[in-house]
């Protein structure tokens, strides 16, 4: 699906900094893998909640009641976005890192030390160190890393399956690599994990803005994502099956709630964060209304808001697939990354398999330092990109402590990609 010119203009208008930064400088924002731009609707909702409903919950007065309502509405919005069965299964936290560490400590309490954890060579360190910490504390015997098909940057499923055995207690997988853009075959991996009754945990932080996510379809035990990677404020959300949330025993202070989700949440909840994520969900519902004509008879297994959200995210995924193809193959008169001899792209580059990756591209340019490339992209083309380490274990595997990365979302355009490719080709030509 290609969004019409009018629709993409409306989408970009919903993001105050999509076209220009706070200085008024026009630029293309290609650093979305680090943090997406904030939706105006989310920022307005956050401000309203922060100013008008700043009281803590549990009071009899209106400010307190409205704070409670904002938190509940936010949980419902996230639950519908993920197709979770209940808002009670949605836990909030400071960050995905904090949520996964808390989860690892809770799971660690029921382990004997003989078990193992299976992850992959392209995990974000957020989905590495909580499990390595269990190993260091002798709560598990091993953390096993499933290898990659290095040339194409995809997961070696056969190796992953070989690593999983009757002692595997946790299988924790990124929905997509934040370095390579590769999507994981979550349905297949989940089936393997369930065969040995391991917890199946999904780190969806990088993938969350790029396509539909259905925790019931995946049958995952836990899934985590961050608001600031989804056009909202900082703060993160964890879905957990209610039976696990009920039985696991996280660290908490004595007076804190004994039932989920409250027993997993440290400190006072931020009602403004919940209001902001509700604003994002409203944006997706609006987008769904704009593309409904293309979805007659589709996603009928969902109803009302849940169907709207699946439609919106499917439309985004299809549009971004077109963006990915343009990045790699370019335009009639502009070579794409695959057609520039000096450029090496890490990750999946087979155009026939473009649907297996998110629009995230890490690459290097022969004989030009990474910092020089991103500096010149910014100065000469107004392209906001980045060179560095993205907390990706894959960079250690590939021995790339610093690499150039661009990452796109649904407010990015083909025109921006054209400018990026023209500028990059010029930089190489004039090096």
What digits encode the pLDDT tens for the residues 373-413? 999 999 999 999 999 999 999 999 999 999 999 999 999 99
Of the three residues 264, 280, 296, the one that is the final residue of a domain is: 280
**Rounded CA gap, 274 and 73, in Å?**
7
What is the band of 423 on the pLDDT scale with cuts at 50, 70, 90? very high
Left (φ > 0), alpha (ψ -120 to 50) or beta: where does 50 sit?
A: alpha
Query: Is residue 225 domain-shared with residue 331, that is, in the same domain?
Result: no
- CATH number for position 406: 3.90.1150.10
Instruction: Tell me the per-residue pLDDT of 6-41, one tens digit each, with 9 for 90 and over.
Output: 999 999 999 999 999 999 999 999 999 999 999 999
Cα 109 to Cα 94: distance, rounded to the nearest angstrom: 22
Interior/surface letters 33-45, b for 16+ CB within 10 angstroms, e for the rest? beebbbbbbbbeb
> pLDDT value at position 7?
98
What is the token pair recorded at 337?
A: 């990354």
Q: Are residues 19 and 103 in the same domain?
A: no
Domain limits at 246? 44-280
Q: Give the model's pLDDT for residue 340.
A: 97
What confidence tens digit (pLDDT) does each residue in 274-313 have?
999 999 999 999 999 999 999 999 999 999 999 999 999 9
Of the pLDDT bands very low, low, confident and very high (cuts 50, 70, 90), residue 206 is very high
Domains of the chain: total: 2
Residues 347, 250 share a domain? no
What residue has token string 């400018």? 419
Question: Mean of the pLDDT values across residues 89-100?
Answer: 97
Q: Is residue 296 part of a domain?
A: no
Q: Are residues 62 and 202 in the same domain?
A: yes
Mean pLDDT score, 199-228: 98
With 80 as the cut, is the pLDDT of residue 349 above it? Answer: yes
Number of residues in the chain: 431
pLDDT above 90: residue 53? yes
CA–CA distance, 151 with 347 (Å, rounded to integer): 7
Q: 288 in a domain, yes or no? A: no
Q: What is the CATH number of the domain that holds 50?
A: 3.40.640.10
- Residue 63's CB is within 10 A of a number of other CB atoms, namely 14
Rounded-to-integer distance, Cα 30 and Cα 18, Å: 10
Cβ atoms < 10 Å from Cβ of 197: 10
Average confidence score pLDDT of the chain: 97
pLDDT in tens, 217-268: 999 999 999 999 999 999 999 999 999 999 999 999 999 999 999 999 999 9
Residue 298 belongs to a domain: no
Q: What is the pTM of this model?
A: 0.97
* Residue 1 scores a pLDDT above 90: no
Is 304 inside a domain boundary? no
Q: Is residue 147 part of a domain?
A: yes
In a domain, 285, yes or no: no
Q: Please indicate, yes or no, if residue 289 is contained in any of the structural domains.
A: no
């Amino acid at each position: 699906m290609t969004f019409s010119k009018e629709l993409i203009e409306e989408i970009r208008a919903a993001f105050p900094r999509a076209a220009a930064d706070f200085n008024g400088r026009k630029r293309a924002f290609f650093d979305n893998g680090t943090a997406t731009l904030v939706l105006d609707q989310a920022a307005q909702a956050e401000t309203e909640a922060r100013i008008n409903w700043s009281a803590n919950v549990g009071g009899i007065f209106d400010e307190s009641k409205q704070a409670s309502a904002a938190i509940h509405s936010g949980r419902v919005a996230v639950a519908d976005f993920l197709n979770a069965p209940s808002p009670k299964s949605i836990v909030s936290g400071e960050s995905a890192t904090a949520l996964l560490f808390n989860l690892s400590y809770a799971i660690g309490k029921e382990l004997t030390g003989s078990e193992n954890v299976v992850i992959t060579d392209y995990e974000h360190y957020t989905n590495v160190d909580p499990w390595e910490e269990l190993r260091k504390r002798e709560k598990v015997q091993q953390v096993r890393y499933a290898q990659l098909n290095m040339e194409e940057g995809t997961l070696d499923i056969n190796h992953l399956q070989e690593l999983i055995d009757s002692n595997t207690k946790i299988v924790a997988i990124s929905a997509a690599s934040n370095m390579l853009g590769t999507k994981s075959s979550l349905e297949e991996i989940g089936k393997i994990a369930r065969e040995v009754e391991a917890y199946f945990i999904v780190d969806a932080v990088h993938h969350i803005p790029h396509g539909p996510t259905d925790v019931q379809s995946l049958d995952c035990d836990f899934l985590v994502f961050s608001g600031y990677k989804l056009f909202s404020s900082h703060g993160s959300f964890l879905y957990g099956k209610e039976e696990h949330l009920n039985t696991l025993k996280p660290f908490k202070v004595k007076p804190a709630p004994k039932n989920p989700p409250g027993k997993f949440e440290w400190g006072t909840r931020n009602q403004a964060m919940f209001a902001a994520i509700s604003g994002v969900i409203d944006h997706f519902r609006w987008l769904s209304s704009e593309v409904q004509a293309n979805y007659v008879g589709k996603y009928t297994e969902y109803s009302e808001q849940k169907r709207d959200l699946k439609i919106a995210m499917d439309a985004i995924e299809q549009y971004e697939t077109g963006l990915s193809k343009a990045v790699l193959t370019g335009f009639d008169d502009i070579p794409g990354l695959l057609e520039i001899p000096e450029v090496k792209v890490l990750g999946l580059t087979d155009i026939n398999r473009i649907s297996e990756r998110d629009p995230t591209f890490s690459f290097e340019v022969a004989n030009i330092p990474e910092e020089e490339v991103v500096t010149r992209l910014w100065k000469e083309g107004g392209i906001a990109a980045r060179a560095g380490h993205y907390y990706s274990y894959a960079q250690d595997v590939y021995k790339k402590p610093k690499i150039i990365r661009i990452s796109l979302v649904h407010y990015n355009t083909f025109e921006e990609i054209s400018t990026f490719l023209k500028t990059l080709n010029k930089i190489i030509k004039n090096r």
